[in-house]
Each structure stands twice: as C-alpha cells, then as structure tokens.
Copies of this chain bind each other. A is one copy, B any other.
Amino acid sequence: VQPIGVFDSGVGGLTVLRALRRTFPGDDFIYLGDTARLPYGTKSPATVTRYSLQCAELLVQRGIRCLVVACNTASASALDELRLAHPSIPVIGVIDPGAEAAVAASRSQHIAVIATEATIAGGAYQMAIRRLRGGARVTAAACSLFVAMAEEGWVDGEIPQAVARRYLDPIFRAAGDMPDTLVLGCTHFPVLAAAIGAVLPPGVRMVDSAATTAAALLKFVTPRPLAAGPGRVTWLATDDAGRFARVGSSFLGEPLLAADIEIVDLTTPLPR
C-alpha cells in the first residue's frame, strides 16, 4: 500500500499528522515541511499556490496514494489548483473539515475564526462555514504573532496569554452578540490551546481541523490494516533538519530526530 502524503509550510501540520496517525495507524506517511520558505501565512495567494504545487509534485513523485494539505493557508489558496494538477489521487485540505467541526460545535451559529493573514484575507473559512450553514455569522481575525510564538516554543504563560488577549478580547469582550465557538484556523495554533483557552470567556468551545480532517480522509481512503504492523513516517524538509526536529517535537507530541529528516530542494525542477 502506498503512503499518505502530507505537507505544510513547516511544523504546524504535525498537529494534523498526529490525528491522521491515530485514524490510520497501519499506514505509512510521507510528511514534507517547506521550512525554507515558511511562513506561508504572510504571503500572497499566487506565491502560496506556486509553493504548494511544488510540494505536491515532490510527494506525488515519491508515490503517495492521497494528499493531505495540512496547512490552512495552502488549503485556502491552492486546493483547486492542487486537485487540477493531481486528478488521479484524493486531495484533502483542512478548511472544510475545520468548518464542519465549527458548525457541529456551535449552538448559536455565531462562529469566530482565527488564522494567518493570508487565510483570513482570502475568506475561505467564512465561505466554507456559510456553505454548511447559510445563516451562520462568522467573525474572523488574523493572529500572525501566534505562528512565531508557537515556533519559539512560548506556548503558555504571561506573554502568550497577553498576546491572546490582545487578539481575542475585541472578538469576545465586545458588547452584544458573542461567538460561542472559536476555530483554530491555522495548524500552528493547537499548541497554544492552553493560553488561548485561558483568555476565552467560559462556555466558548475551541475546535481545530485535525480530527475532522482525519475523518474526511476516511471517506476516500481505506486504512491499511494495523495487523500488518504499525505504519512508518518518512520525514522531508526543505531546510535545517535540526530546527525542524527541535520545534517539531512539541507539535508532534513525541521526539523527532534531526538524523531522520531528509532535506529536499523544491526550487530545482523535478525530473518527470
């Protein structure tokens, strides 16, 4: 059975990989972090699409049976192009699964979404939620600093909570109608869940795309039986294995070794 391909701009997608491995424990994975060009979240849709196509091309050349775009920014900008470029395999993003999780969690159908600048500006979450629930109200905010803070390993305590308060108070402490659900619309954000949760009003539910993305993939891909032995992960990055391993371990929730990470070059055209 061919491996499942997963890519992200860096280590954020490891929060999605973790959920995928729980649902597909017998499957092999190839994870690619485009660490040389992260973050995607402050780049234009055209650039993010170009980079995403290069990531997908490399994974397809390695023989994957399906592709998970474990990056909200890439899912928001590049999903259609990725499907056009690779019509023979299922290509799954994290936006629709995140929107499904939000709509399922919300009672009031007033939903807040926090994500990168690019994801918010593109409006993909807003559209995905309204497609699922026409009357839903969506309040969206870009939280760029969360990405750098997660990468720095500052995941809870005074500063992360102060930053969370600055981004979230305008949404949740405003007078009047308050969202009852917060979508973590960037795969970096789940590692900050404690700090974010600490500044949310009681009763607000926090959801992310990880578990629902794994469920979405189940619709298209049959898991390889675990009886054949647990699956393995092949690690690829475009820069700095040491940093990928160090920062990535906290996202993955288990130790990653720099020696296990292969560095690949996406800027040189691949042979066909």
Contacts and interface: CB of A to CB of B under 8 A. Distances in A.
Contacts of A159: 159, 162-163, 166
Contacts of A149: 145, 148
A8 interface: no
A73 to B, nearest CB: 13
A35 B267 CA distance: 16
B148 A147 contact: yes
Given A43-B240, A158-B162, 7 more contacts: A36-B43, A38-B42, A47-B238, A144-B148, A145-B145, A159-B159, A159-B163
A44 interface: yes
Q: Give how many copies assemble into the complex.
A: 2
A145 B38 CA distance: 15
A239 to B, nearest CB: 5
A120 to B, nearest CB: 13
Interface of A: 35-38, 42-44, 47, 117, 144-145, 147-149, 151-152, 154, 158-159, 162-163, 166, 238-240, 243, 267
A1 B139 CA distance: 53
Given A158-B162, A159-B159, A267-B267, A43 B239 contact: yes
A74 to B, nearest CB: 14
Contacts of A152: 144-145
A154 B162 contact: no
Contacts of A239: 43-44, 47
Nearest to A37: B37
Contact of A151 (B44, B144, B166): B144
A243 B162 contact: no
Contact of A154 (B36, B43, B145): B145
A267 B37 CA distance: 12
Nearest to A43: B239
A218 to B, nearest CB: 35
A127 to B, nearest CB: 21
